[in-house]
Amino acid sequence: MTLLQLLDDDVERPAEDVPDAPAKPDWKVALKRATGKFSSDQCTTKAAALTYYSLQSLFPGLIALLSLINIFGNGKQTTNSIITIVANIMGKPENDSLIVNIRSFIDSVNTTGGGGIALAVGILGALWSASGYVNGFGQALNQIYEIQEGRPTWRRKPFFLFVTFVDMVLIIIAMFALVTTGKVASSIAAQVGIPSRAVDIWDIAKWPFVVAIVVLIIGLLYWTTPNVRKSARSLASWGAFIGFVVWVVASFALVTYFGLTKGASYQKTYGAMAGAVMFMLWLYVTNIAMLFGAEVDAELLRTRQLKSGLPAEELILLPPKDSGNFAKKQVKAAELYDAAHELRLQALRQAAGPEAAATYGRPARAAGHAALVRGGRDNDPDAVADGQVALVGPRDATTPRPGGSALLTSHDRKAGRTVTYDPQTDEAAIEEARLRRRDAALLEATQKRKVRDRLDRQEAKVRKEQQEREHKAEQARKEAEEHLTRQERWDAVERMRAQYDPPVSAERDAVTAERAERRSRFHAMLSRKSDKTAAATTSGTRAGAGKSVSEHAAADVSASSAVRPQPSALSQEIAAEQKRRRDAWYAARRR
């Protein structure tokens, strides 16, 4: 899709390839649209759900961290250092009840045996719980990109576990970079043998390094979690950087507020749980910033596609990573709709009675429409009583036809029946039939599209294999020709020419012999003329010793015109140069 498309009633999502959008994004339009879609996509609600997933993965991670302290730490001294850091962050004294509870929890983990088992369980639990966060983040981004989740669970869950593992490794690297500063960095440098100048440089360079790691973590979530295929350059996107900046600004504002008020309102409301509530609020702000960055990332891509001429006004044109579950979900929705529709029909049959229910409730595509029939006729056992409501199914000879409030068939007139047509009921039935036809058409189109995509992939695979075979054959031909000499190549050319020579026949031999005879006679005639000219020149030289200069010149001109011209020295030099160049060209090809 490279042409400008202005009137696109039905814009479909690409099936395989990511459309090329070389234009630059429009920041003004993208930020305006991202702000509006942030509210319409209910990103604040999704941020609350992601905060729950974050807390769910927090405690297994704490268990793993404390197990590491138990295995590699320095016992009580390490615990005291951790308590001091936590107390400074929370702004509480170490004898506070909350700090005392935290110390008791750490001591209980350290004194309990089986540190290795606790470490393994904590790491696996943290990985599994954090993958739930990644899954929820992917669902939020699927709504941002307006696409369903088409990847099956058995394929999606292992992939999200791998993404979670990579993000956790990057988070550990970023935390290690932040901790490795000052005295810690100096002690490590002294142990390893790194000069102190490098430590000073690291204290400055660690900040852009940490920023790059955090932006990479956010970009990895934007790139891997949604069910849309993006280009590799989207891994480091402006949306991830915007999300990081919003997160830093919001976190700074929140920490400043907590520092100025010392969490007074939270202390008054939540008491000992104020610290946990403030931490949850910070997680909530973090997820809001990341979802806003995702909205900006999507809208920047939309503006690039729009400026490149792609019809992305309502849909960002990105192919799905997997569409295998799309048809299954549509079929399941259709089955649920059919079950609900059948439930309503059963209720209507029961209300209509056994006689009317016998012909009511056939599929709308076969029936055409249904109507309410009111009326009655005298002396007819099958007549509907006056004021009673009966249901009509498929239209037949006894069914009233649309077009008026009291239209009758010939059967109705003969029977003296009065039938009243209800337009509202007919419109509802027509709408129902239209919806069923639409659902059937959607299912059929989905199946056809799957078949078409599968055939396209098969054809692309066949073309790729054919190109690979042709490339290998060309390489083999070149390698074989490299070992041939010039004479062998000329012999091959002659053999090829011999394949297309005309067949040997008596007529062809006769023509060839006649041609050779004429050629020999022609050469003999030229030889006789040359001999006569040479004899005439010799006799003229003897007889013209007393001739004038002009007579000698005329005789020389006539003799030179009669003698066959010989190649000059310049012609011979040109021919030799051509031969030298030809030999050099063949030698280069042979190498």
Q: What backbone phi and psi angles, to 5 degrees, belong to 390?
A: -120, 155
Residue 448 CA to residue 442 CA, distance in Å, equals 10
Rounded-to-5 percentages of helix, strand, coil across the chain: 75, 0, 25
Q: What backbone phi and psi angles, to 5 degrees, belong to 400?
A: -65, 145
Please give the structure tokens belonging to residue 457: 């992939």
Please give the structure tokens belonging to residue 383: 């007549």
Residue 537 CA to residue 515 CA, distance in Å, equals 33
The residue to which tokens 């202005």 are assigned: 6
Distance from CA of residue 453 to its chain's centroid? 15
> Which distant-in-sequence residues (6+ apart) come within 8 Å of 280 by Cβ?
51, 55
Question: What digits encode the pLDDT tens for the residues 8-36?
Answer: 446 777 777 788 888 888 889 999 999 99
Return the biggest CA–CA distance within the chain. Answer: 156
Specify whether the CB–CB gap between 112 and 118 falls below 8 A. yes
Residues 515, 517, 523, 526, Cα dihedral to 10°: -100
DSSP state of 108: H
Residue count of the chain: 591
- Residue 224: burial class (beta carbons within 10 Å; 0-12, 13-18, 19+): buried
Res 359: pLDDT: 47
Question: What digits encode the pLDDT tens for the residues 499-538?
Answer: 887 777 888 888 888 888 988 888 888 888 888 888 887 7
Res 551: pLDDT: 58
Specify whether the CB–CB gap between 236 and 219 falls below 8 A. yes
Angle 325-330-331 from CA coordinates, rounded to 5°: 100
DSSP string computed for 464-505 = HHHHHHHHHHHHHHHHHHHT--HHHHHHHHHHHHHHTSPPP-
Residue 439 CA to residue 489 CA, distance in Å, equals 68
Residue 141 CA to residue 137 CA, distance in Å, equals 6
Res 246: pLDDT: 92
Residue 131 CA to residue 229 CA, distance in Å, equals 20
Please give the structure tokens belonging to residue 516: 């050779």
Please give the structure tokens belonging to residue 292: 């806003």
Residues of the chain with pLDDT under 70: 1-10, 61, 63-82, 85-92, 97-98, 108-119, 122, 182-184, 188, 191-192, 262-264, 267, 271-272, 352-425, 540-565, 591
**Dihedral sign computed on CA atoms, order 437, 443, 446, 448:** negative
b/e for 303-340, b at 16 or more Cβ within 10 A? bbbbbbbbbbeebbbbbbbebebbbeebeeeeeeeeee
What is the number of other CB atoms lying within 10 angstroms of the CB of residue 347?
Answer: 10
Res 321: pLDDT: 86
Specify whether the CB–CB gap between 262 and 1 falls below 8 A. no
The residue to which tokens 């197990």 are assigned: 67
Res 338: pLDDT: 83
**What is the pTM for the complete model shown?**
0.56
Specify whether the CB–CB gap between 298 and 18 falls below 8 A. no
* 3-class secondary structure, 11: coil
Provide the β-strand partners of residue 189: none
In Å, what is the CA distance from 333 to each residue of 35, 177, 340, 366, 446?
Answer: 33, 50, 11, 21, 14
Find the helix packing angle between 43-72 and 115-144, rounded to 10°: 160
**Dihedral sign computed on CA atoms, order 248, 250, 251, 256:** positive
Please give the structure tokens belonging to residue 123: 């790491």
Q: HSE (CB half, 13 Å, CA atoms) of 426?
A: 15
Please give the structure tokens belonging to residue 169: 């490794």
Specify whether the CB–CB gap between 127 and 161 falls below 8 A. yes
Q: What backbone phi and psi angles, to 5 degrees, belong to 420?
A: -110, 130
Res 372: pLDDT: 34
DSSP string computed for 377-404 = -TT-TTPPPTT--EEE-S--TTSPPSSS
**Domain residue ranges in the chain:** 32-307, 323-483
